[in-house]
Structure 1
Amino acid sequence: MRRFELIAPCHFGMEAVLKREILDLGYEISQVEDGRVTFIGDEEAICQANIFLRTAERILVKVGSFKAVTFEELFDKTKALPWEEYIPENGKFWVKKASSVKSKLFSTSDIQSIMKKAMVERMKSKYHKSWFEEDGAEYPVRVFLMKDQVTIGLDTSGESLHKRGYRKLSGKAPITETLASALIMLTPWRADRILVDPFCGSGTFPIEAAMMAASIAPGMNRSFTAEAWTNLVAKKQWYDAMDEANDLVKRDVEVDIQGYDIDGDVIKVARENAQVAGVDHMIHFQQRAVKDLSHPKKYGFVITNPPYGERLNEKETLPALYREFGESFKKLDSWSAYMITSYEDAERYFGRKADKNRKIYNGMIKTYYYQFLGPKPPRKHREER
């Protein structure tokens, strides 16, 4: 089997979570950088990574990397890469996205057009053709420039992996599915513990938690660009990976996962999304204000993405909202709370300093993941559950 170097971009700050996921799949990590993890795998790994990884944004096949400080250098070194080993004669290829950070070459449109020309010149010399119809499968290319180091990869995923296929509709300020999964994985929550999201919006946290509990692979209900790359990955590899994903689903798992929101219309959206994801029977959604947050049992988890007040007219309501959240949480005996927010006075109005927090970028918004830790349940209690 052919070995590839595969690049998995992720949210900044979530590299350790993604690294653990890749190791759990059984693949060797070759590099961890800000916002991406590179690992070694074969054709099967392309399928497995796309279908099973919850925190990766996409999977790229690394074609090459080199240093370039001039466009001439970029052209020559791109042309020197073995494109014919990846793209067939009739393949449709283009540089879909370029990004440049702290590099002398910073015009992304120029980077894209020069690299495309270089690829065409390489293909002309290898396929002995002067014109390419490009009427076959799509081979989109992505390139990152960081401090003049160019890294080039073929995008196997297509649409970002956060698009699981279940969220047809979303509420205000949705959190992506990949980030929600990563944030849940940063907590000690497991399927036998209670989980409540009092600001559930379109239901992303409860749905991702339910999918984890039921071992539903995040890529089961979507397609990937590389499914058409029969020159690199046999169709059977995709069928086998999907069969494995189906076999792993636990259809009878029992959980206590709840999602509340004050907006009844948003709760309807969350229910529809959960139904599409196949986990509606595992989650109790309810229209409920945060001041009414309660649960009779101990040792549960609150994991949530409360309003940030990004809109000016919402800012003035935040002190009262976070105060109500904090007061409700105090009544939850021995619970832990995890919230991601950009609101700088979150701890002040919540009424407690976080035991831990970490800076995370949610899109372009700088946020903090505040962790208010409760006690661990006694061993006897853990064994009973």
Structure 2
Amino acid sequence: MEKIELIAPCHFGLEAVLKRELQDLGYEISCVEDGRITFYGDMAAIPRANIFLRTAERILLKVGSFRATTFEELFQGTKNIPWENYIPKDGKFWVTKASSIKSKLFSPSDIQSIMKKAMVERMKQSYHVEWFPEDQAEYPVRVFLYKDEVCVGIDTSGTSLHKRGYRQLTSKAPLTETLAAALIMLTPWNKSRILVDPFCGSGTFPIEAAMMAANIAPGMNRNFTAEAWTNLIPKKSWYEAVNEANDLIEDDIDVDIQGYDIDGAVVKSARENAREAGVDHLIHFQERPVGALNHPKKYGFLITNPPYGERLEDRENLPALYSQIGEAYKRLDSWSAYIITSYEDIEKYMGRKADKNRKIYNGMLKTYYYQFLGPKPPRREAGIN
């Protein structure tokens, strides 16, 4: 099959997690950059990547790259891309997003407008028509400019991949599903170890963990833009990817994943989201404050996204709240704690310095992923390392 290049954007700082996922799927990495990874595959890689990847934001089919410091160079570079190889005569095409960093061309709207004109000119010549109906399948184009290098891709995903389809109800400040999955994958947690989220909100951490434990592919219950690209990807490729995902599911496993929240209505929403994801039987949700957190099991994992106090009126409550988190953690014998927060006094209340600390942007907000590592379990507790 013909080799193509695909681009997988991800959260800044989490490229290594996505790289490992892509290699596990059997794909060769061609380039790792801040916030995105380019890899080789064939057209069947588009369904597989969309359905299986937990930490990618979307999958783009790379169609060209060139240097441009003027709008004329941008026009000619875009026009030189063989758009007729990808977009049929009746396809709908537009530049849905343009981003520019350290480049002479920086106006997104101008970049989008000029590229659309260049695409039309190229396709007029290729299809020998003066007008395009644009009433069939959608081919949304995304372009990145970095230091005057232009990278062009067609978005195969449509709605961002963090929208798995299970989260109908959300709490006040939810993590995206892709970020939650990546944060879990940065820990040594596996399905033989207990995982507790005492601020579970809409249930994202427990649900993503349960989907990993049961080997449920994150994209199984949603649609993708490229499903309509029958000129490029046979329908059979999508069916094969879904069948592959179905064959890998093991949801009759014995796991201990728990989610708590002080708000009963939020807990009810989390249960509903877990039901939508098909993992409600694998998670124990309960209305419970963090101050009541305790557990007899050893070597567990506390993975959570507590309140940050971004609103001024909430900030004064943070010392008391984080003090409760610290006290609860001290009661958890031999546990590890992984906490994402922008609250910088957390180490004071945890009573120790974090073993590791990683800066991560949660949306536009700079946060830190504090990692307090507990001891490793003895080897005789087989399979839990």
Match of residue 113 from structure 1? 113
Structure 1 stretches of at least 4 aligned residues deviating more than 4 Å after TM superposition: none
Q: Give, in whole Å, the separation in 2 of the partners of 1:146 and 1:342.
A: 29
Q: Deviations over 1:60-104 (max 9, x none)?
A: 000111111111110011001110001011110000011111111
Match of residue 48 from structure 1? 48
Q: Would the aligned equivalents of 1:88 and 1:231 in 2 still touch at CA under 8 Å? A: yes
Shift of the alpha carbon at 1:350? 2.3
Which amino acid in 1 is paired with 2:156? T
Q: Give, in whole Å, the separation in 2 of the partners of 1:174 and 1:166.
A: 14
Which amino acid in 2 is paired with 1:242? V
Q: Give, in whole Å, the separation in 1 of the partners of 2:134 and 2:283.
A: 46
Counterparts in 2 of 1:213-232, with a 5 A limit?
213-232=213-232
Which amino acid in 2 is paired with 1:303? I
Which amino acid in 1 is paired with 2:329? F
Indicate the RMSD between aligned Cα atoms, in angstroms.
Answer: 1.0
Shift of the alpha carbon at 1:233? 0.4
Q: Give, in whole Å, the separation in 2 of the partners of 1:141 and 1:37.
A: 17
- Residue 187 in structure 1 maps to residue 191 in structure 2: no
Match of residue 147 from structure 2? 147
Which amino acid in 2 is paired with 1:173? A
Match of residue 97 from structure 1? 97
Q: Deviations over 1:292-311 (max 9, x none)?
A: 11111100000000111111
Q: Give, in whole Å, the separation in 2 of the partners of 1:363 and 1:236.
A: 36
Q: Would the aligned equivalents of 2:192 and 2:384 in 1 still touch at CA under 8 Å? A: no
Which amino acid in 2 is paired with 1:2? E
Which amino acid in 1 is paired with 2:61? V
Counterparts in 2 of 1:1-385, with a 5 A limit?
1-382=1-382
Q: Give, in whole Å, the separation in 2 of the partners of 1:142 and 1:116.
A: 11
Q: Deviations over 1:109-137 (max 9, x none)?
A: 00001000000000000000000011110
Q: Deviations over 1:176-229 (max 9, x none)?
A: 000000000000000000000001000000000000000000000000000000
Q: Would the aligned equivalents of 1:323 and 1:351 in 2 still touch at CA under 8 Å? A: no
Shift of the alpha carbon at 1:383? 5.2
- Paired positions, count: 385
Shift of the alpha carbon at 1:251? 2.2
Q: Would the aligned equivalents of 1:198 and 1:261 in 2 still touch at CA under 8 Å? A: yes
Q: Judging changes above 3 Å, is the alpha-carbon distance between structure 1 residues 245 and 384 closer, same or farther for their aligned structure 2 residues?
A: closer
Q: Give, in whole Å, the separation in 2 of the partners of 1:384 and 1:39.
A: 32
SS where residue 325 of structure 1 aligns? helix
Q: Give, in whole Å, the separation in 2 of the partners of 1:141 and 1:159.
A: 13
Return the TM-score normalized by structure 2: 0.99
Q: Deviations over 1:244-270 (max 9, x none)?
A: 111111021110000001111110110
SS where residue 303 of structure 2 aligns? strand
SS where residue 360 of structure 1 aligns? strand
Q: Judging changes above 3 Å, is the alpha-carbon distance between structure 1 residues 188 and 148 closer, same or farther for their aligned structure 2 residues?
A: same
Shift of the alpha carbon at 1:2? 2.3
Q: Greater shift after overlay, 350-359 or 78-87?
A: 350-359
Q: Give, in whole Å, the separation in 2 of the partners of 1:4 and 1:59.
A: 12
Shift of the alpha carbon at 1:243? 0.7
Shift of the alpha carbon at 1:349? 2.1
SS where residue 115 of structure 2 aligns? helix
Q: Give, in whole Å, the separation in 1 of the partners of 2:73 and 2:379.
A: 62
Return the TM-score normalized by structure 1: 0.99
Q: Would the aligned equivalents of 2:200 and 2:260 in 1 still touch at CA under 8 Å? A: yes
Q: Judging changes above 3 Å, is the alpha-carbon distance between structure 1 residues 303 and 384 closer, same or farther for their aligned structure 2 residues?
A: closer
Q: Judging changes above 3 Å, is the alpha-carbon distance between structure 1 residues 42 and 304 closer, same or farther for their aligned structure 2 residues?
A: same
SS where residue 181 of structure 1 aligns? helix
Which amino acid in 1 is paired with 2:303? I
